[in-house]
Chains A and B, each alone.
Chain A
Amino acid sequence: MQEILSNLALGFSVAASPVNLGLCLVGALVGTLVGVLPGIGTIATVAMLLPITFGLPPVGALIMLAGIYYGAQYGGSTTSILVNIPGEAGSVVTALDGHAMAKKGRAGPALAIAAIGSFFAGCVATVLIALLGAPLTKLALAFGPAEYFSLMVLGLIFAVVLAKGSVLKAIAMIVLGLLLSMVGSDIETGASRMAFNIPELADGLGFATVAMGLFGFAEIIRNLDAGSATNRDLVQDKVTGLMPTAKDLKESAPAIVRGTALGSILGILPGGGAVIASFAAYTLEKKISKNPRSFGHGNIRGVAGPESANNAAAQTSFIPLLTLGIPPNAVMALMVGAMTIHGIIPGPQVMQKQPELVWGMIASMWLGNLMLLIINLPLVGIWVRLLRVPYRLMFPSIVVFCAIGIYSVNNAPTDVVLAGIFGLLGYWLIKHDFEPAPLLLGMVLGPLMEENLRRAMLIARGDASVYFWRCVQPAGQRLPSGDIAALTFGDYAKGCISPMLLLLSFVLIVIAILPSIRSKRDEVFVEES
């Protein structure tokens, strides 16, 4: 407890410095600003704004990025409530009841409840990160390459199981991402792989480049297809009566608590994160409600539950990233990209060697949420005006902004062309109903997985089955001295971690393919239609 408090104190002392406070504010504001623009989801926002953090010191950059992230998420829910165009899958369910409330002239309370719910969820999640951070880091330090590899396999499988849509297609996207991550120089031998003697490819595909292509450019091209068909019917020109009534608060309070609990759990699990959390929270609220028919017609719980879950999951998904160094979803994968650009390899070592970085970021999340609550409610008027910007003016601006951003990473024109190619690839993927998010996750995890697998093989002298036998072997053989008495339960358990993780992944994938489970899983996502 003492440790946690002192860690948090350190964090707040870092986050509360005027510069970092300012960066957090700017991040949250800019994130909201871009997130509000219809048709731009959270991932696209973070990818687009990545370059503006390059010039900052690492702590400031991460604080700002985290601010951009939850700002974008808040902006997304504003769009779905006011114009019924959810920027991304996570806020689809918010649009159901939130937009219905807006149609009844209650956009203000809907926005306020979304903000309050998010803030509450943010507070809980911050405490959770602080509580779980240290023990998980200790666990992570005990992991060897075999354990890491198994953990990443499990993470990727979770991502497949918790995502919506076809399991087969999601796995294919992950493998495509893994394959793309192999382009460039081999980590151990330096051999050039699939680079076709193009010097710009020798260093591998830039992560920001791929992300901006797949999420920025591809979205723009896709939105252009829709043309003027996407009319943005702004239901309320002026948002008045922001404050929710006492009845609203009383009704939504339990939903906020339930949403937060559900979101926190689902956020830690690798995979869907915020998306599945909001869907699951909505389904839960509908199931336990006495009056399920009122959902979809402006029930405030249908806003409170998913929005809290969304935000809780968004924040707890930092836990696996900060402690294990494994990004659980595409946004966290972007964070890894950003950290790598600043020369930080996320993982347990960062938590130990640069505590001010990690705890500063955690504390800034809480401060950022508070800022969002205070700033955004009065600023709703500005966001509403932004929604009126016609797409025909917005999309060329985004194209140019993204292009400058990509160019500024390495001052390389080739990167811009590559991003364009990935934009077309992303467009094609969308047209064939492939999700680009698992691809990004695979691309980040690819080098880590390969490196750990190779190391594990080397340690096992080429026979990976060692890791399976280690679990069941007579314990004496594992110690050079053969001193069985010295073995603790922990030693036994440690030998079994990697087989257990792999077994769990296997079980999960079998479960996901079973027809009966599949239909249950689709049920959670059914609200979309």
Chain B
Amino acid sequence: MTDATGPSPGKSGLLSFIKSPQDFFGGLALMAIAAFAYWASSDLQGMRGFTFGPGTAPRLFSALLFFLGGGIAITGLLTDGPSLQKYGVRGPFFVSLAILAFAIMIRPLGLVVTAFLSFMIAAMGSDETKWVEAAIVGACLTLFCSLLFPYALGLPLQLWPRFLIQ
């Protein structure tokens, strides 16, 4: 799965007492998620008659997650483990942007325009992209998807921009 890097040599300064930053920060983040979920479900009714109300199970599981996250964080403090892995910036950014662009464009602009533009935006996520090649493949994919989804699979997708149809 992920390439574990082993204990990093360059743990520096303030946080050097943390033996496995990957686990420690992972656990902390889970605790934060749990706390947020607990807060979000705090206004719901608890026990209702003989059985759980809507709020019981969410609060129960957030509390459980909070303690599990704490356990993971403590384990991360005490036992050796891998250091934090490096996060990419370009890939996640452009892929997310492509997804976001797709969501915004699909309603007004239709499948053809949206699919091609999202393809090109996503393609920016890699530094190996060659533009001419990407444009050709993008066009082919757009054609393929516009045939597959609305026609072969019969899904109700609008192909062309709204202002062209009207």
A interface list, Cβ under 8 A from B: 51-52, 54-55, 89, 166, 168-169, 171-172, 175-176, 178-179, 182, 186, 188-189, 191, 193-194, 196, 217, 220-222, 224-225, 227-228, 390-393, 395-397, 399-401, 403-404, 407-408, 411, 413-414, 416-417, 419-420, 423-424, 427-428, 430-435, 450, 453-455, 457-458, 460-462
6 contacts between A and B (CB under 8 A): A182-B57, A191-B55, A225-B86, A392-B129, A403-B118, A416-B103
Q: Which residues of A contact B49 (CB under 8 A)?
A: 458, 462
Flag if A186 contacts B50 (CB, 8 Å): no
Give min CB distance, A213 to chain B, whole Å. 9
Flag if B104 contacts A433 (CB, 8 Å): no
CA distance A399 to B98 in the complex (A): 8
Flag if B128 contacts A179 (CB, 8 Å): no
B26-58: which have CB < 8 Å to A?
26, 29-30, 33-34, 37, 40-41, 44-45, 48-55, 57-58
Give min CB distance, B25 to chain A, whole Å. 7
Contact of B99 among A179, A224, A408, A417 (CB under 8 A): A417
Q: Which residues of B contact A413 (CB under 8 A)?
A: 102-104, 106-107
Flag if B126 contacts A171 (CB, 8 Å): no
- B4 near A: Cβ within 8 Å? yes
- B10 near A: Cβ within 8 Å? no
B91-118: which have CB < 8 Å to A?
91-92, 95-96, 98-100, 102-104, 106-107, 111, 115, 118
B interface list, Cβ under 8 A from A: 1-2, 4, 22-23, 25-26, 29-30, 33-34, 37, 40-41, 44-45, 48-55, 57-58, 61-62, 64-65, 68-69, 71-72, 75, 82, 84-88, 90-92, 95-96, 98-100, 102-104, 106-107, 111, 115, 118-120, 122-123, 125-130, 133-134, 137-138, 141, 145, 148-149, 153-157
Closest residue on chain B to residue A86 by CB atoms: B1
Flag if A396 contacts B119 (CB, 8 Å): yes
CA distance A414 to B103 in the complex (A): 7
Known contacts A179-B61, A396-B122, then 4 further A-B pairs from the complex at CB < 8 Å, ordered by chain A residue:
A54-B155, A424-B92, A433-B4, A454-B51
CA distance A474 to B73 in the complex (A): 47
Flag if B61 contacts A225 (CB, 8 Å): no
CA distance A396 to B134 in the complex (A): 9
Flag if B22 contacts A433 (CB, 8 Å): yes
Known: A221-B92, A396-B98, A454-B52. A411 touches B156 (CB 8 A): yes
CA distance A178 to B111 in the complex (A): 35
Give min CB distance, A527 to chain B, whole Å. 13
Known: A225-B88, A396-B123, A433-B4. A194 touches B118 (CB 8 A): no
CA distance A396 to B102 in the complex (A): 12
Flag if B149 contacts A189 (CB, 8 Å): no
Flag if B62 contacts A397 (CB, 8 Å): no
CA distance A508 to B111 in the complex (A): 51
Flag if B45 contacts A404 (CB, 8 Å): no
Flag if A194 contacts B87 (CB, 8 Å): no
Known: A178-B61, A416-B99. A191 touches B137 (CB 8 A): no
Give min CB distance, A152 to chain B, whole Å. 13
CA distance A450 to B107 in the complex (A): 37
Q: Which residues of B contact A408 (CB under 8 A)?
A: 149, 155, 157
Flag if A217 contacts B95 (CB, 8 Å): yes
Known: A407-B102, A408-B157. A392 touches B2 (CB 8 A): no
Flag if A393 contacts B137 (CB, 8 Å): yes
CA distance A107 to B30 in the complex (A): 45
Flag if A227 contacts B127 (CB, 8 Å): yes
Q: Which residues of A contact B128 (CB under 8 A)?
A: 227-228, 390-392
Give min CB distance, A90 to chain B, whole Å. 12
Flag if A432 contacts B23 (CB, 8 Å): yes
Q: Which residues of B contact A179 (CB under 8 A)?
A: 33-34, 37, 58, 61-62, 65
